[in-house]
Structure 1
Amino acid sequence: MHDSGTGGSPSLGNFAFFPYASCPGDDLNRCVYPKKTRKIPYQADSVKSTPGYFALTLSSGVAADMTTAQHTSLFRFRFPAIGNNTQSPLLLLDLTDLADSRQDNATISVDAKTGRMTGSARFLPSFGSGNWVAFFCADFKGADIRDNGIFVNSRASSDVKDLRISRSINNYPLPGGGFIRFTSNPIEGVLARIAVSLISSEQACNSAESEIPDFDFASTQKAAEDSWREKLKPISISTTGVSKSLITNFYSGIYRTMVNPQNYTGENPKWSSTEPYFDSFYCLWDSFRSQLPFLTILDPNGITQMIRSLIDTYKHEGWLPDCRMSLCKGFTQGGSNADVILTDGFIKGLTGGVDWDKGYEAVVKDAEVEPYDWSNEGRGGLDNWKSLGYIPTQDFDHKGFGTMTRSVSRTLEYAYNDFCIAQMAKGLGGKENDVEKYVGRSSNWRNLYFKDQKSFLLTGGADTGFTGFFQGKFMNGTWFTQDPLWCSNIDPNPNRVCSLQNTGQETFESSLWEYGFYVPGDQAGLISLYGGPSAFVKRLDYLHDFNITYIGNEPSFLTVFQYHYAGRPALSALRSHFYIPRFFAPTHDGLPGNDDSGAMGSFVAMSMMGLFPNPGQNVYLITPPFFESVSIKSPLTGKTAIIRNVNYDPTYQTIYIQSATLNGEPYTKNWIDHSFFTEGKELVLTLGRNESSWGTKVEDLPPSLSEYVGFNGTVNGTVVAKFRRWEAGRARIGSALGHHNEE
């Protein structure tokens, strides 16, 4: 019951424990029960965290450490000795959650003899619609029970063993829950085992008894750690010359990709199915870009089950989710990006029981049928999407309802969703008409290109020198006027809204400047629109050099590597090394933004591994790994793919590919497909200190819907000149970079 770095309202953290060494004066009612008043600091240097384990010590001297199984957690509380050590330690079990979203009719029952606590509560999802119910079962071991009971508001009673509590009318859940007090303070501590179920307390108790039957902390921790080692095992690196910080950064990134989505199979009360059920797809707008594609490499069995779960959700709820958490429909941020995830798995050969025909049916429904509530699923504005070829600003949409904003970002995302559907239709065969239709719609991004739109800096008003941006357009064909730099990283107005508010702009969580690069299926067409490869590189440079992009948000990810499409793969390598480790490091402030269910972790892992995906396509863009070699063993085939650097330089001055071989044969393409992993190929990259002609010719560029034009096959500019421009840009950015500059 944990989501990782999702931002916004905190989520989950249900049925928390809180420990007291004793109540003042040994008076039960002198302990503090409401969590707003009982809260105390923790000792900052006491925090310990490893996979499957966490520990800290409170300022009260109570030390807590914890480990976990699939449905069950095991806590160990050690209490400080006070006086003659005759105090009675006390544990609270709180019926609320981290976000204080608990609704009415929470319950708890405490068994007077065994101390077992069972109950349930109804909560709200953190970024979605509806509500959900969780059940728990808690048991205790390590000391004899002195008394137990319930607490409500600021008082407790050992005479009352059952509680049913409302939320109250004051927008905050009433304090309530259970307590247990022990007769002694054992040196080895008190153990608390708690399991959670979405079905019943009985199921939670069964999970607890089967997963951690004997309260053995050491063996439970070892099993958790062994599980993580098994998951991380497929990827190994050469650590020669590499700082410990970078190694930790790399594996921490991999670890974080595997926290969400979560396997809730057997815990879905909404429908009965033999298919897997995964939850905390939170949200696909964040995870489709690199997190889930990374799992296709590292955990193909897991991602296959996730795809089956998405399709099964469609079968029972009528739509593929774009965001889902805690059994509830989450809010749609842009397009129907489950289409990208299904396509990515399909074209990379995942099978494992996936009903691809049903999956195709689901993505076509996204493209053709408008749901009544497209804030939660599918797409809005489909009538105008089909007739006008774009989502209009202030659209007239009477068939379905959602926040009427983001017309530009939705148009761009819908276009790419349709591009992906076309790839899936082509792969399934016998769907030539669908291929033609969705390829045609995938070019709708062109309809929002306003060739006369200029861009001026919002501070000082200087002309950026670039003309032509995507822009909102009304139904009558006239242009909307959103400044290209609104909601960018250099927008001086902190109150500007580019999100789901009804006062939002026509882009989601980013600027027109950044969305100007979001045409993943037709980079050649976009490059031509911007005046050719040199002009495209110049514009991409400006995005990065002037700090317009925000690397802490997902739309920035692909822009780091889009130089590949302009025949400048060396500049992608340079940008990758610019952002890592300056903005990503294993420190307290080592992430530039919310991790978003492992999105940031996957960006770090794939960047450092040297193969970055263009999701929905069988394409990985090649840059030199941050290590002398990286080995990836396919869990599907058992074959090991190897990327090896020749002339590896741990100071990272030598980061430009001069030549490459694939299985011993010369290889000039600046991208590679998924068979590299499944067939266990070897890619050897010879590196140098200067940009070369490797990967720069038209025939070496990644696939694109349009043909590449305007290329002469030569390298434009030099790395030295590039560095000078870059350092000037860094000087303009100022101290913000220095804050993150770890090495």
Structure 2
Amino acid sequence: MPSEHPLRMGVLGAFTTALYASCALAATDDFDMLKYVDPLIGTANGGHVFAGATLPFGMAKAVADTSGENQAGFAYDTKVVTGFSHMHDSGTGGSPSMGNFPIFPQPNCPGDDIRQCKWQQADRAVAWNRESPEARPGYFGISLANGVYAEMTTTNRSALYRFKFNNTSSQPLSPVILVDLMDLPQSRRNGTAHVDRSTGRLSGSGTFSPSFGIGSYNSYFCVDFKGAELRDTGSWSSNGVNFSKPSLSLGANSSSTVSAGTFARFRSPKDDTILARVGVSFISADQACSNAEREQPEFDFEGTVSAAEAAWRKKLGVISIDAQGVSSELQEVFWSGAYRSLISPQDYTGENPLWKSDEPYYDSYYCIWDSFRSIHPLLTLVDPLSQSLMMRSLIDIYRHEGYLPDCRMSLCKGFTQGGSNADVLVADAYLKKVEGIDWDTAYQAVVKDAEVEPANWDVEGRGGLHSWKHLGYIPFQDIDPYGRGTHTRSISRTVEYAYNDFCIAEMAKGMGHHADYEKYTMRAGNWIHVFKHDQKSSIKGVDTGFTGFLQPRYPNGTWAYQDPIFCSPLLNFTSCYLNPDGHETYEGSAWMYTFYAPHDMGSLIKTLGGAESFTSRLRYLHDSGLLYIGDEQAFLPVYQYHYAGRPGLSAYQSHSYIPSQFNATVAGIAGNDDSGAMGSFVVLSMMGLWPVPGQDVYLITPPYFKEVSIRNPVTNKVATIRNVNFDPSYKSIYIQSAKWNDKPWTNNWLTHDFFAEGGVLELELGPKESDWGTHIEDLPPSISKYE
């Protein structure tokens, strides 16, 4: 997703040294990984991480909403809280997402006059205590300057809030809790609210816009209270409070930035505490109420927290590490990254009003362009059952809406950022034998992406397919009468389309579609058509010493020009987004995209002058400041030294980014988390096996721990990566030799069979590079031979 921030330089070297130097005790039988999960990591400096309470892939996500850069509701570098809302996304760029129907508690109204309470969002905003936020899996708590201590937890479809009131005035407590027909991006198109005068139940609905897509969605809520006697109720708006009207309706002519809703006022509560249970739904207010009643009939706060913790322990418990000697901070980085990787996509099964189906429905694929590189490959390892449900959901979206999505949120079509990268996800699941998927329909879906241009390729499929098929590249200033979309990103779309077609070819080969295999393998080589062999590059007038880069090309075959460093941290970093003048690469430079041919590395390395020249160029990409690790396309280049026979440099490069760019502070991730992309990058890197998505390939580097094990939840078999001569100071990070199940292993990569069947990969480490994994026969697959 687009980031709103320029390059973030990470933490000081002294902090990095401290992380390596600080030691923790070895793991014990009573080890609890939740003690190492800090949901506040990444809540400052544009990380946009969701810090609140949720279940794995849960729909309900409760947190305090702050005023400022609040894409996920709460941000640590803010000052005031405006409400508490119940659905969010995590780590996204662009505009804030959801945050519908916030509730807000006030201990009492000045002079006991209901009209003197604060109602509008800006007026009621209250400072929060800087030391008070407490976040852990399934729980969030915060103290407000108005005397309220707010705690929250969730089930799948409901949130439970516990408000403790500290009366700071001389008058008796008479708390008011309002609901606001608002959302974080202030996109409301219409809304209704009602309060039941006998019970105080607040319910209603609204129509809102998605944060990064088209269309609109309807959302519903239901709030019940426990712990205090109801005093009175009413509705409120900019015109004030109305006791006689229990209902309120806002039409399209009402400003989306104006607060309005209903409220309940209570007499002094027992123990100064009121519980508020909020059900949410995309179907109806009645279903929102029934969701809450079914999932939390007893308003049991502690029991709900305990159940959430158990759910998180079960999900994370398939991973185990021997962390002897490793700093507690690095363990926090690891486990917190794993936690964030399991927040989205969100399970909306039973909450999809768009069509009837017996298939699962997941939402918040936000976006696949971000998530296919690391989130879903990690899920295939640690939670293949959920990965199967997500793939089935994508295929069902294809059945009912005609295309696989590249991005989707809030039941709406999201914007496509590059290629049709759901094709990569589907191929990855196919090659790794993810169970329960209708592969025939899945294959139809990916072939349609490759062959049939949609009417609006801004939100699905691929644009420029006529040019792609006849010219072999996406032209600069393409002429495309077959569909509409944003005519930018000709370079990055070309290389992504090539890889998408390769992934389809891999499926075709396995399914016996031989003609398709030949066709799509041929099209997978199209990346070379935008490589300009004599293109040079300079930085501040000084030649970089490298020749040959991807460049835009007109339909007639002549070359256009984009500075190879343009849209890097060194030149106009934020100039390559989805706006109509967003240029020819997306969220990165031609320098970086020139390395993107993960299926054809033999040819790419030859094109760039051979292995030694390739290695030199790749090191320059990392060392010069041209690469921003906070964008997902930067992940694979960390490990591409493997293809040039230098796997030790991949390990070195990984350690250059962790922990310098990823640490345990509130600003501890390199970019916005993009639904867990940054978290999954850290986890996979620290486990020592980097997946190449869309291929049955894992690139081997040493784990950051003495030993890492993953128990396959389907086969119950355990795969263990063990370091011999492990050095927690990370001076010995180079593999000298390897054994797979006690047999010598010289390939610098392995396949998914290791995880499906279990076994032990033993890596002997040393302080210098060796010849392990360096020979041509040791290199990962490529459709063109290595030289």
Q: Give the structure-2-normalised TM-score.
A: 0.88
2:777 is equivalent to residue 699 of structure 1: yes
Q: Deviations over 1:87-133 (max 9, x none)?
A: 211111111111111112x0011000111111100010000000000
Give me the whole-angstrom Cα distance separating, in 2, the residues matched to 1:521 and 1:477: 25
Question: Where does residue 50 of structure 1 map in the other structure?
Answer: 136
SS, match of residue 631 in structure 1: strand
Instruction: State the match for 2:243 in structure 1.
Output: 158
CA contact 1:67–1:217 (8 Å) conserved in 2: yes
Q: Sort the Cα spacing of 1:154 and 1:564 in 2 relative to 1 into closer, same or farther, 3 A.
A: farther
Query: What is the Cα deviation at residue 188 of structure 1?
Result: 5.1
> Which residue of 2 is the match for residue 726 of structure 1?
none
* Match of residue 523 from structure 2: 441
2:533 to 440, 451, 475: 451
Please give the residue correspondences for 1:638-677 in structure 2 after superposition, counting only pairs within 5 Å.
638-677=716-755
Q: Deviations over 1:37-84 (max 9, x none)?
A: 221221110000001100101122211000000000000111112345
Residues 645-694 of structure 1: CA distance to partner in whole angstroms, max 9, x if unpaired? 00001100011000010000111111111011111110000000011000
Aligned to 2:64: none
Q: 2:162 aligns with which of 71, 76, 87?
A: 76
- Corresponding residue for residue 267 of structure 1: 351
- Matched with 2:465 is 382
Deviations 1:159-210 (A, max 9, x none): 210010135465x432111111110043251000001111111111111011
Worse-superposed segment, 158-167 or 566-575: 158-167
Q: How far off its partner does 1:156 sit?
A: 1.5
Amino acid at match of 2:321: I
In the alignment, what sits opposite 1:462? Answer: 542
Selected match of 1:123 from 208, 231, 254: 208
Alignment-derived partner of residue 722 in structure 1: none
How far apart in 2 are the matches of 1:85 and 1:635? 57
SS at match of 1:597: helix
Cα displacement (A) at 1:564: 0.3
8 A Cα contact 1:5 1:595, kept in partner: yes
Offset at 1:32? 1.4
CA distance in 1, matches of 2:253, 2:119: 17
SS for the counterpart of 1:293 is helix
Distance, in Å, in 2 between the alignment partners of 1:85 and 1:674 is: 66
Structural RMSD (CA): 1.0
Post-superposition shift, 1:290?
Answer: 0.7
Q: Match for 1:60: what amino acid?
A: N
Matching of residues 721-732 of structure 1 within 5 Å: none
Question: Is 1:92 aligned to residue 178 of structure 2?
Answer: yes
Q: Could you tell me which residue of structure 2 aligns to residue 246 of structure 1? A: 330
- Tell me if structure 2 keeps the 8 A contact 1:26–1:87: no
Residue matched to 2:611: 533
Secondary structure of the structure 2 residue equivalent to 1:349: coil
User: 1:392-541 residue pairs with structure 2 within 5 A?
Assistant: 392-429=475-512, 431-457=513-539, 460-491=540-571, 493=572, 497-541=575-619
1:85 to partner: Cα distance = 5.7
Which secondary structure does the structure 1 equivalent of 2:270 belong to? Answer: coil
**Identity rate, percent:** 55
Alignment pair present for 1:109 and 2:194? yes
Task: Please tell me whether the aligned partners of residues 167 and 173 of structure 1 are also in contact (alpha carbons under 8 angstroms).
Answer: no
Q: Which residue of the partner structure matches residue 661 of structure 2?
A: 583
**2:93 pairs with 1:7:** yes
Answer 1 or 2: higher relative contact order, Cα 8 Å, separation at least 6: 2
* CA–CA distance in structure 2, aligned partners of residues 116 and 173 of structure 1: 25
Find the aligned partners of 2:239 and 2:643 in 1 and give their Cα distance: 64
Inter-partner Cα distance in structure 2 for 1:14 and 1:2: 8
Which segments of 5 or more consecutive residues in structure 1 lack a partner in the other structure?
710-743
Number of aligned residues: 701
Q: Which residue of 1 aligns with 2:121?
A: 35
The residue that corresponds to 2:704 in the other structure is: 626
One-letter amino acid of the counterpart of residue 396, structure 1: I
Give the match's secondary structure for 1:503.
coil
- Correspondence for 1:721: none
Alpha-carbon separation, structure 2, partners of 1:218 and 1:544: 48
Contact 2:147 2:167 in 1 (8 A): no
Q: Which residue of 2 aligns with 1:314?
A: 398
TM-score, normalization: structure 1?
A: 0.93
| DSSP 3-state at the match of 2:474 | coil
Secondary structure of the 1:187 match is: helix
Q: Which residue, out of 628, 631, 635, partners 1:550?
A: 628
Instruction: For 2:265 and 2:378, locate their aligned partners in 1 and report how far apart those are by CA, in whole Å.
Output: 47
- SS in structure 2 of the partner of residue 46 of structure 1: coil
Q: Find the aligned partners of 1:320 and 1:563 in 2 and give their Cα distance.
A: 33
Rounded Cα–Cα distance in structure 2 between residues aligned with 1:217 and 1:122: 30
Most deviating of 270-279 and 37-46 = 37-46
**Structure-2 separation of matches of 1:570 and 1:547:** 21
* Residue of structure 2 in register with 1:135 after alignment: 220
- 1-side partners of 2:239 and 2:560: how far apart? 56
C-alpha separation in 2, matches of 1:271 and 1:386: 34
CA contact (8 A) 1:567 1:695 kept: yes
Unaligned runs of 5+ in 2: 1-86
Contact 1:154/1:175 (8 A) holds in 2: no
The amino acid that maps onto 1:472 is P
Distance 1:581 1:397 in 2: 46
CA distance in 2, matches of 1:101, 1:518: 37
Task: List aligned pairs for 1:201-350, cutoff 5 A.
Answer: 201-350=285-434
Deviations 1:472-529 (A, max 9, x none): 00001111110001100111x46x5201111111001100000011111111110000
SS at match of 1:192: strand
Distance 2:569 2:270 in 1: 54
Secondary structure in structure 1 of the residue aligned to 2:135? strand
For the 8 Å contact 2:227–2:269, the answer to whether it is kept is no
Note the alpha carbon deviations across 1:6-50, whole angstroms, 9 max, x for none: 011010111111111111111111111110222122111000000
Superposed, which structure 2 residues align to 1:554-573 within 5 Å?
554-573=632-651
Q: Distance in 2 between matches of 1:205 and 1:185?
A: 23
1:126-170 CA deviation, whole Å, 9 max, x = no partner?
Answer: 000000000111100011111111111151122210010135465
Which of 112, 116, 119 is the aligned partner of 1:26?
Answer: 112
Instruction: Show the counterpart of 1:679.
Output: 757
Q: 2:471, 2:254 → 1: CA distance?
A: 48
Instruction: Write the letter of the residue equivalent to 1:425.
Output: A
Report whether the alignment pairs 1:610 with 2:688.
yes
Q: For residues 534 and 776 of structure 2, what CA distance do their matches in structure 1 show?
A: 29
User: In 2, distance between residues paired with 1:189 and 1:153?
Assistant: 29
Instruction: Check conservation: 2:702, 2:734, Cα contact below 8 A.
Output: yes
User: d(CA) in 1 for partners of 2:184 and 2:519?
Assistant: 47
- CA distance in 1 between counterparts of 2:602 and 2:288 reads 54
Secondary structure of 1:603's aligned partner = helix
Deviation at 1:217, TM superposition (A): 0.2
Contact 1:415 1:443 in 2 (8 A): yes
